[in-house]
Structure 1
Amino acid sequence: MKFLEYSGIEAINSALVFDTPECRVYGRVEPYSCKAAGADKKLYKQIENRYDQSNSPPDNEDGSAGSFRNIISPFGPLDQPASRRTLFYLIGTLNASFPDYDFSGVKPEQFRKEPSVSMVINSINATLLNHGKEKVVKDLQIWDSIDALIQLEDSDVYSYNPESDSDPNDEEGAGTLWSFNYFFFNRKLKRIIYVTMRGVSHGAPSEEGEDDFSDASDDENGVGHRRRGMRYDDYVAGEMDML
């Protein structure tokens, strides 16, 4: 997956990190091209080997299909290449967004296809407004920016609901009170917008580098802008052509 630079997203992401009386909120919007990089090719091969019907065990003696063929996914039957490709794109996006983690073992059922884009937009808007971030919705026009990147009306949206042992936001002592992960996916454009937010308890131990989050600390092991900047450099595919 290739991270796509877009100037309008930077101001939004800065506004999505803020304090409330109950918690500190970390949010970000990340656009990706589905163009595969080196590590993605390895992931794709892993998913194909795991779910491709030609690699599955033969039918059982009683005539029933092997267990692989009964897997239900939000992407459709996993014996179809398009379904496996969608799973690959979403896992690849997680790997790109959290480079210190390996999501290759994430199961299809940990994702959900949301009923509609508008319902997800309303849910995210409600979260922002409830936390006093009307600026993000109205002044920074988050959805106009996202629509310019991905054409929302032609997109599907998936959520990721990780198990505790595969959630980078739920490590022991992390203090995460709530979180969400959404992927807006336009198949025709082959682009994904990853939108995530989480609320962290003020009583949780400070994350390394957190104090420098807003001013791009030189601590390369931090979790603020410096780390994000390093990751961006790894995935940047150039300025997005909006034509």
Structure 2
Amino acid sequence: MKYIDEFDIDMVNQALTFNTTDMHIQGTCDLFTTKPVGADRKLYKTLNKMYNPEEEEEEGESENNNVDISTNADLNPQFVQLKKRSFSYTYSNPQSVTEMLLREKKLRSQSFHSPPPPETGNEHEINSPFGPLNQSSSMKLFGYLIAILNATYPDHDFSTVQPTHFKTLSSSDVVLKVNNFLISVGKNNGLDWIWQTINTHIDIEECLCFQFTPEESFLSDFPGLLWTNMYFMFNKKKKRVAFIYLLATGLRNESRAGTEDEEGHTQRSESQGHDLMYEDVFEEEEEDVDRMDVDVI
């Protein structure tokens, strides 16, 4: 995935990062294209091997024919064109994935009202928020999000994250959830401007949206983390993904405590100093009185 650096998005990130009386809020919106880099291709192959072993076996059997395929590609320009855009090509029917996601969401939430789905006969088919993972389009969408997580947190490997860690949401749900979190911590101003800016780059209403719930092992690497919320917005037409995440950590009071300790120590020292001076004055007066008595005698 290729990171997109935009000045106005940087301004959004500055607006999403602030302190409250007891928390530090780090909000970020990162934009990525779906164009793969070397590490992404390796990741997609790993995921495909995990969730679609039959296709991997077929690819392994066809490796000996690569030379013949290359020769035929030279004779068929249309084939070359397909090869070049084989990765960026996603869904044959623009509405099919949206309908499929809505159908899957309905089946999960209202399964007790509907009969079980018909058997497909494919033992490797795994349903997910992205659709059946034995389908190339669903697998690539899943891979996009994993690749973004790996790019954002390079110290972690998300290749083993399960599809169950993701949940489909509508674009309006994402906006509402983020706004509610921000308002709850005192961020009331500029919310419309934030979403208008993001919308110019991703066209929010045209996005498929997902919420990601990370594992505890990931969260434990952030000391003082109170909560985190992570959302993805995928626009197929623009071939872009927006990764929006909010992290809240408790503010540390060590410096304030240290200042209070220093002030307390200073006050105690001054108090002790005054006591010593007071005692010294009395001792000097007693010595003077003793000398006067001796002189009189």
Q: TM-score normalized by structure 2?
A: 0.60
Out of 239, 246, 249, the residue aligned to residue 197 of structure 1 is: 246
Task: Give the whole-Å Cα distance in 1 for the aligned partners of 2:22 and 2:151.
Answer: 30
Bigger proportion of residues as strand: 1
Task: Give the whole-Å Cα distance in 2 for the aligned partners of 1:112 and 1:56.
Answer: 27
Task: Give the whole-Å Cα distance in 1 for the aligned partners of 2:11 and 2:133.
Answer: 39
Task: Give the whole-Å Cα distance in 2 for the aligned partners of 1:203 and 1:73.
Answer: 40
Task: Give the whole-Å Cα distance in 2 for the aligned partners of 1:56 and 1:38.
Answer: 19
Which residue of the partner structure matches residue 220 of structure 1? none
The 3-state SS of whatever aligns with 1:78 is coil
1:26-175 alignment to 2 at 5 Å?
Answer: 26-55=26-55, 66=123, 68-69=124-125, 71-114=126-169, 116-138=170-192, 141-165=193-217, 167=218, 170-171=219-220, 174-175=223-224
1:81-108 CA deviation, whole Å, 9 max, x = no partner?
A: 1110111000011111112221111111
Which residue of the partner structure matches residue 18 of structure 1? 18
Residue 21 of structure 1 and its aligned partner are, at CA, apart by 1.8
Task: Give the whole-Å Cα distance in 2 for the aligned partners of 1:96 and 1:85.
Answer: 16
Q: Which amino acid aligns with 2:47?
A: I
1:181-236 CA deviation, whole Å, 9 max, x = no partner?
A: 00010012110000000111224999xxxxxxxxxxxxxxxxxxxxxxxxxxxxxx
Task: Give the whole-Å Cα distance in 2 for the aligned partners of 1:44 and 1:173.
Answer: 28
Residues 7 and 172 (structure 1), Cα distance of their counterparts in 2 relative to 1, 3 Å cut: closer
Higher relative contact order, structure no. (Cα contacts within 8 Å, ≥ 6 residues apart): 1
The 3-state SS of whatever aligns with 1:104 is coil
Can you give the 5+ residue segments of structure 2 that lack an aligned partner in the other structure? Answer: 58-120, 256-297
Residue 172 of structure 1 and its aligned partner are, at CA, apart by 5.2
Which residue of the partner structure matches residue 82 of structure 2? none
Q: TM-score normalized by structure 1?
A: 0.73
8 Å contact kept, 1:43–1:88: yes
8 Å contact kept, 1:185–1:192: yes
Task: Give the whole-Å Cα distance in 2 for the aligned partners of 1:131 and 1:48.
Answer: 41
Residue 135 of structure 1 and its aligned partner are, at CA, apart by 3.0
| Structure number, greater radius of gyration | 2
Bigger proportion of residues as helix: 2
8 Å contact kept, 1:12–1:136: no
Task: Give the whole-Å Cα distance in 2 for the aligned partners of 1:164 and 1:46.
Answer: 23
The 3-state SS of whatever aligns with 1:134 is coil
After superposition, the CA RMSD in angstroms is 2.3
8 Å contact kept, 1:181–1:195: yes
